[in-house]
Structure 1
Amino acid sequence: MNEFVVEVKPSARRTNGAVGAAVVRRGTRRRFATRADAESWAASLSGGNEPRVWIRLADPRDDSAVDGYLVGRRGRVSLDGAYDKRRRRLRGGTESEQSGFDRF
């Protein structure tokens, strides 16, 4: 019988609480009849208010005994204004307004 083996990566556990609960119940490896079944499982974990997790195929050069990985990514950190803050700090100023272009 051919099966599709998935290993849960730490990124999925950190991202999605339902994944952590599933790992506690049944461990970090799951066996499915097909990849479609694994994808369906990942989608069910991402339901409700939980962040999205998905199945990533293992690299062909990966010598582990898995066919894919359940992975996740935390939401992007907002960096609004970070670039401007760095420029102000490098110029030695503390003002929030840009003044360098007023001279031209």
Structure 2
Amino acid sequence: MCDYVVDVKPSARRTNGAVGAAVCRTGSRRRFDSRADAEAWASELSERGDGRVWIRRADPDDRSAADAYLVGRYPRPELDGAYDKRRRRLRAPSVEQVGLGAYDAR
């Protein structure tokens, strides 16, 4: 009898391609006999895919039928130099560093 319900969250799908494939095959809700079975499934998906996913207990105030969620943490994308540009702009020399001579009209 399957009595442990796990909903797949979008974060897990974005993190791990194997999760997305599993959702396409069987849907975004899975039923397991126990939490241990659900954690074994998450571990298997983590090994097959490119990112780590895990089982997280559902909030007690959550009104869904899920006992837990399959979640993942999507890494922050690299900024490809945008951060460096902003940092340079923010660290532009102040008037005290440059001196007033740079601002004289010629």
TM-score range, shorter chain: 0.7 to 0.9
Displacement of 1:86 after TM fit?
3.7
Displacement of 1:48 after TM fit?
4.1
Q: 5+ unaligned residues in a row in structure 1: which ranges?
A: 94-99
TM-score by length of 2: 0.74
**Structure 2 residue 59 is matched with structure 1 residue 59:** yes
- CA pair 76-57 structure 1, distance change in 2 beyond 3 A: same
SS in 1 for 2:47: coil
- Between Structure 1 and Structure 2, how many residues are aligned? 93
**Counterpart code for 1:9:** K
TM-score by length of 1: 0.75
In the other structure, the counterpart of 2:22 is 22
- CA pair 20-48 structure 1, distance change in 2 beyond 3 A: closer
Displacement of 1:63 after TM fit?
1.0
Percent sequence identity over aligned pairs: 67
In the other structure, the counterpart of 1:8 is 8
In the other structure, the counterpart of 2:39 is 39
**Counterpart code for 2:63:** D
SS in 2 for 1:7: strand
TM-align CA RMSD: 2.4
Q: 5+ unaligned residues in a row in structure 2: which ranges?
A: 98-106
In the other structure, the counterpart of 2:69 is 69
Displacement of 1:76 after TM fit?
3.8
Displacement of 1:49 after TM fit?
5.2
Displacement of 1:2 after TM fit?
6.2
| Greater share of helix | 2
SS in 1 for 2:75: coil
Is the deviation greater in 21-30 or in 44-53?
44-53
